[in-house]
Amino acid sequence: MNNKPKVGLFVTCLVDLYRPNVGFAAIALLEKSGCEVVVPETQTCCGQPAFNNGDRASTIKIAKQTIEAFSGFDYIVAPSGSCAGMLKHHYPELLMDQTQWSDRASEFATRVFELTCFLVDIMSIDLSQTRFDSSVTYHDSCSGLRELNIKAQPRQLLGNIDGVSLNEMEDTEVCCGFGGTFCVKFPEISERMVSDKVALVEQSGADVLTGGDLGCLLNISGRLNRMASPIRVYHVAEILAGMIDEPAIGEPTSTNTQP
């Protein structure tokens, strides 16, 4: 019991608000891979809304708070490439000039992983008991792809699940138009980008769209829904954990059960 790696789950604000199921799926997967998982209560958000809108001072405060909250864990794992990239790459950059923090941020960064990378590159997980009978297409979220090289890991994990067939869409590495606050600041441009993405998702012929970042998935699912598309959207952690009893993202609740 004691030699289990101790993982602090960085929930991410969107999972916290919109899709708790992803957080529980992440816990299930991490525990299954042999980790002990704790969710520190003093976490909020990784700080990207402030960072990407130029509020450096607030971002630095949030960065320090997050580093504090996750001291004492062997690993910090997030079900998001974008937030993990923020913790891993941008925190050290932001705190570079602060003597008492720069080493700490760099050391912290070495312990940060995105969920699917962690499950493939650090741990190993047996998904042979999981089943998901669907054709799936995977959207590569930009930050995860380009800051953390997430590409093969989620596909490898999906490939280990019985019943999944992967239908790659064209231009899977092209941005969906979410971009955090971009999508509300430039709604018309964002609409064009998400429309292009949705067209490619539909061309792929898959029944399910999945990905590793809830922001992108909310964006694409919102557009699919508006276009009355039957394609269902799940975070990749939900599929990998077999936790797909919940309505897909943007679907109505069919029963009154509490998650």
Partner 1 sequence: MEAKSIQFKRNAVEALDDPNLQAALKFAKDGFIGKRTAAVAQLPEWNSIRNDVRVMKNHVLDNLDHYLLAYEAAVLANGGVVHWAQTPEEATDIIATICTDMNAKTVAKGKSMVGEEVDLNAALEKAGVVPIETDLGEYIIQLADEPPSHIIAPAIHKTKEQVTGLFHEHHRQYGLHEKITDRAGLVAEARQVLREKFLTADVGITGANFLVAETGQHVLVTNEGNGDLSSVLPDTHIVIAGIEKVVPNLDDASALLRLLARSATGQHFSNYTSFISGPRRAGDTDGPKRFHVVLVDNKRTEMLGNELRDMLRCFRCGACLNHCPVYGSVGGHAYGWVYSGPMGAVVSPVMIGLENAPDLPHACTLNGRCSEVCPMSIPLPSLLRRHRQATFERQLVSNASRYGLTFWAALATRPRLYQLFTQSVIILLSRLGRRRGYFKRLPLAGGWTRSRDLPAPQGKSTFMALYRQRRQSL
Pick the closer one to partner 1 by CB: 160 or 207: 207
Q: CA-to-CA distance for 26 and 240, rounded, in angstroms? A: 9
Pick the closer one to partner 1 by CB: 85 or 154: 85
Q: How far is the CB of 70 from partner 1 (least distance, A)?
A: 13
* Burial grade of 110 (CB within 10 A; 0-12, 13-18, 19 or more): exposed
Pick the closer one to partner 1 by CB: 124 or 230: 230
Q: Of 97, 98, 164, nearest to 128 (Cα)?
A: 164
Report whether 22 contacts 235 (CB < 8 A): yes
Q: How far is the CB of 11 from partner 1 (least distance, A)?
A: 5
Q: How far is the CB of 180 from partner 1 (least distance, A)?
A: 8
Phi, psi at 155, each rounded to 5°? -70, -40
Phi, psi at 38, each rounded to 5°? -130, 145
Q: What angle do CA 92, 45, 197 make, to 5 degrees?
A: 95
Q: How far is the CB of 25 from partner 1 (least distance, A)?
A: 11
Pick the closer one to partner 1 by CB: 128 or 254: 254
Report whether 9 contacts 38 (CB < 8 A): yes
Pick the closer one to partner 1 by CB: 11 or 206: 11
Q: How far is the CB of 103 from partner 1 (least distance, A)?
A: 22
Report whether 161 contacts 132 (CB < 8 A): yes
Pick the closer one to partner 1 by CB: 154 or 179: 179
Q: What is the DSSP string of 19-45?
A: -HHHHHHHHHHHHHTT-EEE--TT---
Q: How far is the CB of 156 from partner 1 (least distance, A)?
A: 22
